[in-house]
Copies of this chain bind each other. A is one copy, B any other.
Amino acid sequence: MPTTLLKLSCPDRVGLLSRVTAFIAERGGNLAEVHQFTDLEAEWFFTRMAIGTNTLRLPLSSLRAEFSPLAAELGAQWSIRREGEKMRVVLMVSKLGHCLADLLWRWRSGELVCDIAAVISNHDDFRGMVEREGIPFHHVPVTTANKADAFAQIERIWDETGVDLVVLARYMQIIPETLCERWEGRIMNIHHSFLPSFVGANPYERAWARGVKSIGATCHYVTGNLDEGPIIEQELVRVEHFHSPGDLLRLGRDCERQALARGVRWHLADRVLLHGKRTVVFRD
Binding site for B on A (CB under 8 A): 14-19, 21-22, 24-25, 28-41, 55, 97-98, 101-102, 105, 109, 111, 132, 194-198, 209-214, 216, 230-231, 233-234, 236, 238, 240-244, 247, 250, 253-254, 258, 277-281, 283-284
Contacts and interface: CB of A to CB of B under 8 A. Distances in A.
Contacts of A39: 241
A281 B241 CA distance: 7
Contact of A197 (B194, B211, B243, B281): B194
B18 A24 contact: yes
Top-4 shortest CB links A-B: A211-B278, A18-B21, A15-B25, A18-B25
B234 A212 contact: yes
Contact of A241 (B15, B24, B37, B109): B37
B277 A242 contact: no
A214 to B, nearest CB: 6
Contacts of A197: 194-197
27 contacts: A14-B25, A14-B29, A15-B21, A15-B25, A17-B17, A17-B21, A17-B31, A18-B18, A18-B25, A31-B36, A32-B40, A34-B38, A36-B36, A111-B253, A194-B197, A196-B198, A212-B234, A213-B231, A214-B216, A214-B234, A214-B236, A238-B238, A240-B281, A240-B283, A241-B279, A241-B280, A247-B284
Nearest to A16: B31
Contacts of A28: 14
Given A25-B18, A242-B37, A242-B284, A211 B198 contact: no
A243 B284 contact: yes
Question: How many subunits of this chain does the assembly comprise?
Answer: 4
A217 to B, nearest CB: 11
A142 B210 CA distance: 31
Contacts of A244: 40-41
A283 B213 CA distance: 12
A48 to B, nearest CB: 11
A28 B15 CA distance: 8
Nearest to A232: B213
Contacts of A55: 14
Contacts of A198: 196
A64 to B, nearest CB: 19
A236 B283 CA distance: 18
A36 B278 CA distance: 23
